[in-house]
Amino acid sequence: MNKGMIAGILVVVVVAVVWVVGASQKQVPEAAPPAPLKDILKPKADDKPPKTPPAPPKDPWKEALSIATSGSIDSVTRLAAKWRGQAREDEAFLRRLIQAVKDPGTPAEARELAAFVLGSLQKKEALAALADALKDADPAWARVLLLALGSQKQSEDDDIFGLPESPRVLRTPLGLTVEIRGRVVDAEVRALMMPRLADSASADVRWAAALALGDSTDYGDVRQAFVTALATEAEPPAQGELSKALANWAAGQPEDSAERPAVLAALFAGAARADAAALRLRCEDGLKRMSWAASEVLAVAPTIEAGSFDQRRWAMAVLAGAAARPETPERKAIFESLGRVAASETEAKLRELAVTALSSFPDNPGTLGILVARMGDDAWHVRAAAVRAVGRGSRTDEAVNALRKTAAEDPDERVRRAAAETLKVLTSK
């Protein structure tokens, strides 16, 4: 191959290479500079934030337990009313409350709340659960259970846990106020409650048992348990509840009741004990209302003139209360004992009590003479008592003249004032 041909071929090759390179440069654009980091991380306009997962559903029971342990009395009271309404209508919820009472792991506040709600319902299953829990209960828990069992059960209104306090309405440790009233009608429940009347570990438990069963003395088992407990009970709160319940029962019985003598024998024997001031005080109202038999009056009348101060005070109070009814037998024996005390007792306070008691005998012709004589007593309070007793009787010239004389001449201004006021009332009759 000659040199000219070789040179031509080389020219053609060079031209072809130059054309290919130029064409490739025109087709591939220059690389764009990298985007800033903030633009890379910035979400696109059409991207949506991820959805928050839904909150787990609230547990009503846990919320209720939180309220029960909150310490807020208003909140707990509202919760108790709510639980009562639920338990009346929903058997499953009733069983949940029963389980709360049985489970020692339940917070103490919630157990107490559940117990009082269950005790407010006349439902056999609820009351049986409370009574069963008494078997192994410590004193504090036993007190709660007993009061719950004795609480009022007849209300159709569920808002019964914030009542005004009164002798039968008590405030619980949790702050509820509940009424302790009504009979415990289930014999099996009573059978589990009555042993607590003799609870040697706690006088507070004995008191709670007596209070809870106090309206159940129509049942012979309760009445006998009260009589037995009264014979040895020395603590005033329990002693008082036992005697009050027995006296109230006796007040509702006829004189010829075959069961009343045993109850009265227990009360009279208890009243003779030196440590029984609470017994005497709490049984007074029932015994005043009772229709007495002659033998019962004669059994107590000697105590007007013999015994401790409180025993004599009690005898005067109950017999004068009975003697205010003219049909009471042996009123003459009561009157004569009171007359002797008013005239010759050395203790002025006892003379005052006897003078006051004599106002139960306005129909006795000898009453006014004794009272007028006592208007000259050495003790001003005896004279004042005699003045007031005269005012409870009939208007007579002797009574009016004695009051006028005392109103004008008594050395004590308090007696003169009492006589003037009594005279005004008597002369207006």
Question: pLDDT tens digits for 237-280?
Answer: 999 999 999 999 999 999 999 999 999 999 999 999 999 999 99
pLDDT band at residue 42 under the 50/70/90 scheme: low
- pLDDT tier at 320, thresholds 50, 70, 90: very high
pLDDT grade for 52, boundaries at 50, 70 and 90:
confident
Q: Name the token pair of 321.
A: 């209360």
Mean pLDDT value across residues 130-140: 96
Task: For each of the domains in the chain, give its residue range(s) and CATH number, in order of start.
Answer: 65-216 (1.25.10), 365-429 (1.25.10.10)
- Provide the 8-state DSSP code for 180: B
> How large a percentage of the chain has pLDDT more than 70?
87
What is the C-alpha to C-alpha distance for residues 338 and 319, in angstroms, rounded to an integer?
10
Residue 338 has pLDDT above 70, yes or no: yes
Assign 45 a pLDDT band (cuts: 50, 70, 90): low
272 C-beta neighbours (distance < 10 Å), count = 14
Phi and psi at residue 109, to the nearest 5°: -65, -40
The phi and psi torsions of 142 (rounded to 5 degrees) equal -65, -40
Secondary structure E strands in 242-401:
none
Chain-wide mean pLDDT for the chain? 90
What average pLDDT does range 40-68 have in this prediction?
A: 70
Instruction: Please count the helices (runs of H) and the strands (runs of E) in the chain.
Output: 22, 2
What is residue 102's predicted lDDT score, i.e. its pLDDT?
Answer: 96
Averaged pLDDT for residues 226-235: 97
What's the pLDDT at 312? 98
Computed on alpha carbons and rounded to an integer, the radius of gyration of the chain in Å comes to 45
C-alpha to C-alpha distance for 330 and 40, rounded to whole angstroms:
114
Question: Which residues 6+ apart lie within 8 Å of 7 measured at CB?
Answer: none
The model's confidence at residue 354, banded by pLDDT at 50, 70 and 90, is very high
99 close to 125: Cβ distance less than 8 angstroms: no
Q: pTM for this structure?
A: 0.84
The β-bridge partners of 171 are: 177
In whole angstroms, what separates CA 38 from the centre of its chain? 72
Tokens of 156: 């159709």
Query: At residue 349, what is the residue type?
Result: K
